[in-house]
A and B are shown apart, each in its own frame.
Chain A
Amino acid sequence: MSVTPQVPEIENASMEDRLYTVKYDDPGESHLDVKVQRICSDSCETSDCVSICPADVWRREDGEVPTIAYENCLECSSCRFACPYDNVSWEYPKTGSGVTYKHG
Chain B
Amino acid sequence: MVNFQPTEEQQLIRDTIAGFAQEIIRPAAHEADETGLIPSSLVQQAWELGITQSTIPEAWGGAGEIPSAFTGALICEELAWADLAIALHLLAPRLVIQPVLALGNDTQQQHVLPAYTEPTFTAGTAAVMEPRFGFDVNELATTATRRNEDILLNGAKCYTPLAAEARHLLVYARSESGVAAFLVPRDTPGLVIGEREKNMGMKALATYELTLNDCRLPASAQLNGALSPLLNRSRVALSALAVGVARAAFDYARDYAKERRAFGTAIAQKQAIAFMLADMAIEIDAARLLTWEAAWKIDAGQDTPLEAVSGATREACLAKNYAANMVLKVTDNAVQILGGHGYIRDHPVELWLRNGRGFATFEGLAMV
Asked if A pairs with B, the answer is: no
Taking Cβ atoms with an 8 Å cutoff, the residues of A that contact B are: none
Taking Cβ atoms with an 8 Å cutoff, the residues of B that contact A are: none
